[in-house]
Amino acid sequence: MGDDLYAMQIDGQRCKGCGRCIEGCPVNAIQLQSGKAQILRRRCVDCGDCIRMCPNQARAFNADTLATLSLYPYSIALLPPSLEVFLDTECFSDEISFEDLQDVFSNMGFSEVFRVAEAAEVVGFIIEQHVLRKLCARPLFSSSCPAVLKLIRMRFPGLLKHVAPVLSPMEVAARLAKERAAEKTGLSPEKIGAFFVSPCPAKAAEARDPIMTTRSAVDRVIGVNLVYRDIITGLSRKAVVNRRNEAEGTVATGTGTGCSAGDRPLTTSMTVSGIHNVIRLLGEMEGGRFVRTDFVELLACPGGCPEGPLNSRKPFASISDLGGLIQKYRVKQRFHDHEHLLDIYRRGCFASAAPILPAPAEVADPDQSVHAGVGT
């Protein structure tokens, strides 16, 4: 496994060896060596907490750049629901349409845009069917946050049977988008590049070294921070034009969105966010608690993906507002009717390729780490 598979990197020039990240890393994956922070690759779960904590911006996200667009005759930008929640609520409300967003990505060089919210609806339905038909261990965990999956593999392998045996919304989106683009253009799938616009390093790690499948359909991952300025500038111009059109009598259509866990309520479910809270809950589950809960969505970031580390310095929806926002957007748009979703489920589409195996964490050197996190 080459170093480029890893999503997190440390910029040795910027690191001052202050140790702030070492104290905050929830899994004790950072050590000081020769006065510089070093990440233990097989302990790190890519939660991105050290990006938030470093006062010297010495944490780098090993992402792809827009230059890689030229490698593909046809390219698709996969937009996560977290980006839509932000754009639709914090910045532009109903002043922009999805077509406006498509135009902005087209100006960056993409051939088309695909909404991951559509895939999240499919994944949510499959999970619901597993729960309703009692085909799985109880409670079932969502498989959408790769940082949580890594954590379970390393620290809580006895709970792996609780992970929903379905691909993540990002992975399902890439497959749906490529299939449709191949039909539309007649191009072979390898000529179509799927680019995920990511709120976090964990998604880049998932695409490069997938846990739920042998090979990811996501070809490239670009950080949302890389395209943020282009999006805001492009949409600001669109909003001005739309306002003018509306004043003149032309109505702009609204932008819909979705959420990471699908939009159909399960009997008893809960969402736990923040890596420290997730660790605490998994510890309690190992002790036999929560057996009456059907489904648990586990998200490494406090407040979920809209608070992903690559988003966190932006004016995203505040954590306290997030539950209400997600609820609001869950019911805003349906992409598939019930019969179509049932057909997808019955055909076993998007099931994970193989059981997830434990991946014991690398042992940290106690002489070189200064740890104040929840556990090791």
Residues near ligand SF4, by CB under 6 A: 8, 25, 27, 29-30, 39, 44-50, 145, 147, 199-200, 202-203, 299-301, 304-305, 308
Beta carbon of residue 45, minimum distance to ligand SF4 (angstroms, whole number) = 5
Q: How far is the CB of 287 from ligand SF4 (least distance, A)?
A: 24
- Least CB distance to ligand SF4 at residue 82 (A): 7
Q: Which is nearer to ligand SF4, 69 or 145 (CB)?
A: 145
Q: b/e map of 328-350 (b: 16 or more CB within 10 Å)?
A: ebbebbebeeeeebeebbeeeeb
Judged by CB, which is closer to ligand SF4: 150, or 238?
150
DSSP 69: G
Determine contact, residues 100/256, Cβ cutoff 8 Å.
no
- Measuring CA to CA, how many Å separate 45 from each of 41, 48, 88, 147, 354? 8, 8, 30, 5, 21
Residue nearer to ligand SF4 on the CB measure, 51 or 76: 51
Closest CB to ligand SF4 among 130 and 371? Answer: 371
Q: How far is the CB of 288 from ligand SF4 (least distance, A)?
A: 26
3-state secondary structure 85-109: HHHHHHHCCCCCCHHHHHHHHHHHC
Residue 331, both tokens: 């019911």
Which CB sits closer to ligand SF4, 154 or 239?
Answer: 154
- Greatest Cα pair distance in the chain: 70
Q: Provide, rounded to whole angstroms, the least separation between the CB of residue 155 and ligand SF4.
A: 11
Least distance (Å) between residue 47 CB and ligand SF4: 4
By beta-carbon proximity to ligand SF4, the closer residue of 234 and 258 is: 258
Smallest distance from ligand SF4 to CB 243, Å: 32
Nearer to ligand SF4, 200 or 261 (CB): 200
Rounded to an integer, what distance in angstroms lies between the CA atom of residue 118 and that of residue 56? 38
Classified as helix, coil or strand, 195 is: strand
Residues 323 and 273: their CA atoms lie apart, in Å, by: 11
Alpha-carbon torsion 159, 160, 166, 171, what sign?
A: positive
Instruction: Give the span between the Cα atoms of 271 and 176, in whole angstroms.
Output: 27
